[in-house]
Amino acid sequence: MPGVQAAWEAARRPVECALTCALEGLRSPKSRTIFVLVRGTKLPRIAQTGKNYLSDAYGVPSAVMQTAATPVNGSRIDFSWDPSDPSVNISSRYFFVFYFAELQSVASNALRQFDIIVNNSTWNPKPYTPPFLFADSISGTVQGQERYNISLVATENATLPPILNAMEMYLIKPMSETATDPGDARAMMAIQETFGVSKNWMGDPGSPKAFAWEGLNCTYPPAGLSRITALNLSSNGLVGSIATYFGDLKALQYLDLSHNNLYGSIPDVVGKLPLLVFLDLSSNDLSGPIPYSLLRKSQNGTLSIRFFDSPFDKEAKSIPLQGRKKMKGALLTAIVIPIVAVIALFVLSIFLLCRIRKEKAKRLEKGGFESVFLGYLENGNPVAVKVRSESSSQGGKEFLAEAQHLTRIHHKNLVSLIGYCKDKNHLALVYEYMPEGNLQDHLRDTSTSKSLTWEQRLQIAHDAAQGLEYLHVGCKPALIHRDVKSRNILLTADLGAKIADFGLTKVFSDSKTHITTEPAGTMGYLDPEYYRSYQISEKSDVYSFGVVLLELITGRSPVVPINDSVSIHIGEWVHQNLDQGSIESIIDPSMGGVYDVNSVWKVANLAPHCKQEISRERPTMTDVVVQIKESMELEAPP
């Protein structure tokens, strides 16, 4: 049985399916594979070259449509297909697409005409004739069966046999989530094609939520379509001018295009995004005029812009202002030279306000040489303001290090820095506000925090792991956090997790396997190999994260008290209890027994691997992300 197989590039297209369903397979240029499976009939291929065909509604490229199969002798093509998915049953449904294009010039007295029959059901309402040198398709849905018998049968009037260029079969899977807004989806497809983004971007950009494209954040309303609100393409090797397609993401609030090779001017459509509050264009080669729409929003405080390490910083005086509205030179200078100064001045005003009203401001946290206060921007949005103690002789270096690192990184699982200020002895960092506080308080202080379910704990672990993975893999050069702990994992209103506190973070060169540095971090989380050898690598963060995983399982602190005078490490406590009984003996009782024990076991096995004594035997954070994802799948309802 000869077969034809070709993979093609294609954009996501609407399909004949209810809104509550999605086609598994129409997800990616790389995931679409075509098979023509023919039994019992010799089907030679006919071909045509030198012609670019118009794509059909499902985006088939011309390379696929330039060949077709036809019987040598006879008037029909017969073949069958057996679904390979063992879960297919009578309630399953498939979506079939047959592709046709006439490749031969048919004489006026000849006719190619046939019917498409699937399991004795004719799919074409009238006899079908393929269009000459034009891609066409016939599609429909079928109920699940053990075998599908497919026939293409010439009509009585036909003088030529049937042909088949290609065929696709997709299993339709129910979805409880709505699709992404079509305008947003088209824009993302265009951005992917324009820049050749190498991320694992497949299918609907935002749906289902568990498989949303990397670098995207979306809203998921109870009714209606999901919208893309954040896009992080930092350090993705983008080359070229900023595509105007970004202006089609009308719900976008955060856009990070930093650390790429973008050049040319900034399109005005970016400044006209109605909801945009954060734009990072640093470390590119942009030049030309800054759109007035961006300058206006930056001046009135509704938009934070970063242009660090770009020609704008060096050539600001020569950059003309766009738009009809004239501004005074002093104001223009304050905005344009560089725009970073707007952020710094903006943060300074917040800092002074907090200092003046310190006795009235709500203190979120107090550390050894810093305090964190709740503040508000002019638009009413809450922020967290970390203020260094004026009396402290420590912390200045850590403050500046944290600001330096956060100006070049932006990820959905890392707390965002809105701005910072250094004015003599006054230092302040302004972060996005995380309303649910830190993970440690949720695990320990049950009197003020609602107990976390196992499903929520898994999601927090997955989010935090992705944040660390980005530091280790996505940042160039890589970063080592050095102080991973439950207190530095902050939670959003919907309990999404973000890594915070980058004061001890170190730059880690790809050409080195370790960095020699004096031990720093928090006892109980500190990598013993690092403590002994002063040699740190990204595996030190992996060790600390293993301790966090044990905290999530047990609800206990890294140092577990045995009696009034004796305490042991949480890793040893877990090991002792597992040796004496079942895993239930270590699971946090506040979860009320609501969990999949296999899911807990998987994380309980992962944590000791993260805490291996020898660092090279520990997994990478990429491995950890994969393992936690598998545990989440075990916990998910069938």
Active site residues: 483
DSSP 57: T
- Whether the Cβ atoms of residue 84 and residue 131 lie closer than 8 Å to each other: no
Burial (CB count <10 Å: 0-12, 13-18, 19+), residue 623? middle
Nearest to residue 32, comparing CAs of 67, 63, 1? 63
Phi–psi pair at 122, nearest 5 degrees: -80, 125
Our CA angle for 472, 478, 482, nearest 5°, is 70
- Rounded to whole angstroms, the Cα distance separating 321 from 610 reads 53
Residue keyed to tokens 């439950």: 486
Cα–Cα distance between 599 and 601 in angstroms, integer?
5
* Backbone CA torsion sign across 331, 333, 336, 338: negative
Q: With H, G, I as helix, E, B as strand and everything else as coil, classify residue 366.
A: strand
Q: Are 253 and 278 within 8 A, CB to CB?
A: yes
- Residue 370: CB atoms within 10 A of its CB come to 21
Burial class (CB in 10 A: 0-12, 13-18, 19+), 28: middle
- Can you tell me the distance from the alpha carbon of 113 to that of 322, in angstroms, rounded to the nearest whole number? 61
Q: If you compute the radius of gyration of the chain from its CA atoms, what whole number of angstroms results?
A: 30
Q: What angle do CA 26, 32, 37 make, to 5 degrees?
A: 120
Dihedral sign for Cα 356, 362, 367, 372, please.
negative
Element (H, E) at 286: strand 285-286
- Cα separation, 595 vs 598, in Å, equals 9
294 closest CA partner among 285, 303, 281, 283: 303
Determine whether 356 is exposed, middle or buried from the number of CB atoms within 10 Å of its CB (0-12, 13-18, 19+): exposed
Query: Identity (one letter) of the amino acid at 96?
Result: F
State the sign of the Cα–Cα–Cα–Cα dihedral 161, 167, 172, 178: negative
Helical (H) or strand (E) element with 385 = strand 382-388
> Which of left, alpha, beta for 120 (phi over 0: left; psi -120 to 50: alpha)?
left
